[in-house]
Structure 1
Amino acid sequence: MSFQHPSFGSVADNRVFIFDTTLRDGEQSPGFSMNIGEKLRMAHALSALGVDVIEAGFPVASEGDFESVRQIAENVDGSVICALARSGGRDIEAAGEALKKAKRGRIHNFISTSPLHMKYKLRMSPERVLELIESGNKQARHYTDDVEWSAEDGSRTEPDFLCRCVETAIRHGATTINIPDTVGFATPEEMRALFSMLRERVPGADQVIFSTHNHNDLGLAVGNTLAAVEGGARQIECTINGIGERAGNAALEEIVMALKTRHDRYGMTTGIETPRLLSISRLLATITGFDVQPNKAIVGRNAFAHESGIHQDGILKHAGTYEIMTPESVGWNSTSLVLGKHSGRAAFRDKLESLGYGDITDELVNVAFQRFKDLADQKKVVFDDDVRALVDEEARDHDRIKLQFLELQGGTAHKAHVLLGLEVDGVVQEAQSDGNGPVDAAFRAICQAFPHKATLALFSVANVTEGTDAQAKTTVRLQEDGRLVDGQGSDADTVVSAVRAYIHALNKLLVKRQRSAPEALKV
């Protein structure tokens, strides 16, 4: 297969394009909302990673979504910038407007095609769905020649009707055809057969890119994705860390490394800079407040850890005995001991570049360097993970609430007492409170300085590195009116870490309040 695609030019059969939907499908997960600044930072990181298409959002959903897509389209180079829209109507108009300044823009329009969705969700006849597929793709072509069409709940759609839908989309301008397993129902054998069937039966199938988008409800998202590639899909829709609706999406890092490590089986290439996988995984975890589990493939902290004596013996003799890829190939560093209190700014910036932070601003470097010096005064040694934790935290921007100071008293003889100052929209608010321990007192003081109705749903503390002088990494989950947000903070002082996490969660909650929920948005 070789044909001309409007964004990618000549398409070779062994090239798989990576379509990342972290900023759209991933952000729909409860608690995962990002502000515009955070989305821009993620978009720049995704572009540097080598992602072919960045799905930046759903412009018609809210003013915030429209503006984030517009800014990403205007400011992020290297990747195709994609906006989601329902087939037909003002959705596509909003997407086209948001993408006006993109160097390469794509409109991704979708409609449900399964009998269940057409009957109960859309309340439309199959003929009406076909009409909207035609009009939606025609309308999208007025704005861009790079148009993607998706059959929502495609894996549960009757094959004959799915073929009619795909043929209609191709005939009226779609250049990429996406068949999602929207509810994670399919098996790998079914996905492989589905794509093979479409490529064999649909006229014009050899002149478009077929795409696969799989959810992980049965834990089969990555397996279904790889099977779809075997069936002829050449675009993979996925997210960093596998975030997304319900149980999430297929994880970008797992798919890319499966294709790379098992090139002998798949024979496919991508444009992903795999040594950046760990840093972007951690960036997303910091922004969203959701850490990956320790045993997560590729980017979990145990992914290259070996405790069994038999395994350790094998690794010492030859790494290939128990490692099918090198830690360095995905961004893990074989050396973690880095800087000390006598290290200068130049050495600090050099370390940041080696950790994948080469694109951060001088202002951020200065702020992070000062925190590093403060930390180095408290710790004997500062590790790579310490540096990552403090830089990622300082990189959060557009926060309306910021910690100015924190003082506490406590011990066995006195009830815990906290005095703190918060800067809220540029104005410092002071508060003090007693509590059942310093963390409780601190959280009570925050509630006084910034009154709110959110309740604490989760409080968790872990250490960034080892030792009694390790930085604490705290996760706080807040709940308000059905909204869930997670915040993270790090500091050598556990109470300060907890306060930073609580404030991070509050800032995310403010973003969540301003956004309206996308209507009927799944794919």
Structure 2
Amino acid sequence: MNPAHQGSTHGDVESDVGRVRIFDTTLRDGEQAPGFSMDRRAKMRMAHALEDLGVDIIEAGFPQASPDDFAAVAEIARTLKAPTVAALARCQAGDIDAAGKALEGARHSRIHLFLSTSPLHREHKLGKSKQQVIDIAAEAIYRAKALAHEVEFSAEDALRTEPDYLAEIFSVAVEAGATVLNAPDTVGYTTPAEIIEMFRYLRANVRGVDKAIFSAHCHDDLGMAVANSLAAISAGARQVECTINGIGERAGNAALEEIVMALHTRRPLFKLDTGIVTQHLYPTSRLLAEVTGQAVPRNKAIVGDNAFAHESGIHQHGMLKHRGTYEIMSPQDVGAKTSLVLGKHSGRHALRQRLVELDYDIDETTLDTVFERFKAVADRQRSVTNDDLVALMGAYEADNETAAVAVQS
């Protein structure tokens, strides 16, 4: 074992009191999703952005999957300075050795092992008994801990695994040397109440629990990935696995930006924080959209175009009076900005504000006339741009000049 692997502070449980580690798997679980594959150059751009974002652990890929994946993990491991770089591996010797080799240049490395534990997976995927699965996990962890600073063990399909069996295999994992225990909702099946109950059970029943931290990895098949992740955190998980924009297999993973801003915005409730530089969330989201060619949905929380956009006249009036009426967080905190979108639902207050921003001196008579014309334009198109407003004002001023000439003649 490399002497530098001894005494890694990233395995220190005490340093995480009051803090949640962010484990980003955009480059592994996210990249596996149809339509989101990235070449090595794209992966490196994203890896640097994730480092700048302040992610604690970056899962760089699955080295045994392909030579290109191995090369990408190795390059990321050699290049990044601050985060722990993780590589995924099945509990198989070839996978573990490939992960260890790819991570050789990392300043902080982690081998992330996974093995199915639910009755359904044990019978139909593995064809193994309970004891056989435990033995495989222990042997794999022993092998992996000689090749990286840390070993994380994931019990695939944990939320559909018998609680007592899950506690037993996690206990064995700790004894074998795992310092992170991940209980993933692999198929997005659970609810917040159920995941709270499970994590509380595990914290009470896993032997040597003080030597490891618990992690949550939730999928969004029922639309509850972020809610379940936050529930797991409230029940004692101190690592959460997520992706930028919530990309991932099937319906995706828990969205990093949503988890982070929920903890940030509701800090008095959770009393926890992350190391994320939140001002980088929007730029990182847009970078992912650029390198994958997959646009961010307009209504996406935190980073969508509509997240801080307001068209309704009632909302716009409230925003002009006090931002807190309809925004619970500052758009600047995520690297975005507020947008008062002018459309058919907009009112006089928003139109006046925009015209003032365009350096027009607006009295009530002018506003009355221009507002009627604005509404006519807004009914024909989805939004009214600044160019449209300039054209409206130009036409209004021209009409006034014509009327003035007619009066004089």
Using structure 1 for the length normalisation, give the TM-score. Answer: 0.63
Q: Are residue 12 (structure 1) and residue 22 (structure 2) matched?
A: no
Structure 2 counterparts to residues 95-244 of structure 1, below 5 A: 95-244=99-248
1:13 deviates by 2.4
Using the alignment, how far apart are the partners of 1:224 and 1:333 within structure 2?
29
Using the alignment, how far apart are the partners of 2:228 and 2:62 within structure 1?
25
Bigger share in strand = 1
The answer on whether the counterparts of 2:138 and 2:172 sit within 8 Å (CA) in structure 1 is: yes
Corresponding position of 1:358: none
Structure 2 counterparts to residues 247-262 of structure 1, below 5 A: 247-262=251-266
Using the alignment, how far apart are the partners of 1:466 and 1:82 within structure 2?
46
The answer on whether the counterparts of 1:5 and 1:175 sit within 8 Å (CA) in structure 2 is: no
Using the alignment, how far apart are the partners of 2:385 and 2:72 within structure 1?
39
The answer on whether the counterparts of 1:6 and 1:146 sit within 8 Å (CA) in structure 2 is: no
State, as a whole percentage, how many aligned pairs show the same letter: 55
Residues 297 and 335 (structure 1), Cα distance of their counterparts in 2 relative to 1, 3 Å cut: closer
Show CA shifts across 1:68-92 (max 9, x none): 0000001111110000001131100
Residues 208 and 8 (structure 1), Cα distance of their counterparts in 2 relative to 1, 3 Å cut: closer
The answer on whether the counterparts of 2:88 and 2:112 sit within 8 Å (CA) in structure 1 is: yes
Q: Are residue 321 (structure 1) and residue 325 (structure 2) matched?
A: yes
Residues 230 and 334 (structure 1), Cα distance of their counterparts in 2 relative to 1, 3 Å cut: closer
The answer on whether the counterparts of 1:6 and 1:145 sit within 8 Å (CA) in structure 2 is: no
The SS at the match of 2:27 is coil
1:209 deviates by 1.0
> What amino acid is aligned across from residue 208 of structure 2 in structure 1?
G
Corresponding position of 1:56: 60
The SS at the match of 2:193 is helix
The SS at the match of 1:108 is strand
Higher radius of gyration, 1 or 2: 2
Residues 175 and 5 (structure 1), Cα distance of their counterparts in 2 relative to 1, 3 Å cut: farther
1:8 deviates by 5.3
Structure 2 counterparts to residues 366-405 of structure 1, below 5 A: none
> What amino acid is aligned across from residue 83 of structure 2 in structure 1?
S
The answer on whether the counterparts of 2:87 and 2:103 sit within 8 Å (CA) in structure 1 is: yes
The answer on whether the counterparts of 1:242 and 1:249 sit within 8 Å (CA) in structure 2 is: yes
Structure 2 counterparts to residues 37-48 of structure 1, below 5 A: 37-48=41-52
1:123 deviates by 1.0
Using the alignment, how far apart are the partners of 1:147 and 1:126 within structure 2?
22
Residues 312 and 466 (structure 1), Cα distance of their counterparts in 2 relative to 1, 3 Å cut: closer
Corresponding position of 2:285: 281
1:468 deviates by 8.5
The answer on whether the counterparts of 2:309 and 2:338 sit within 8 Å (CA) in structure 1 is: no
Q: Are residue 79 (structure 1) and residue 87 (structure 2) matched?
A: no
Corresponding position of 1:513: none
Structure 1: state its 5+ residue gaps: 337-462, 470-523
The answer on whether the counterparts of 1:88 and 1:139 sit within 8 Å (CA) in structure 2 is: no
Using the alignment, how far apart are the partners of 1:167 and 1:466 within structure 2?
61
Provide the aligned length of Structure 1 versus Structure 2.
339
The SS at the match of 2:190 is coil
Bigger share in helix = 2
The answer on whether the counterparts of 1:45 and 1:280 sit within 8 Å (CA) in structure 2 is: yes
Using the alignment, how far apart are the partners of 2:385 and 2:53 within structure 1?
30
Using the alignment, how far apart are the partners of 2:277 and 2:131 within structure 1?
44
Structure 2: state its 5+ residue gaps: 1-6, 341-381, 389-409
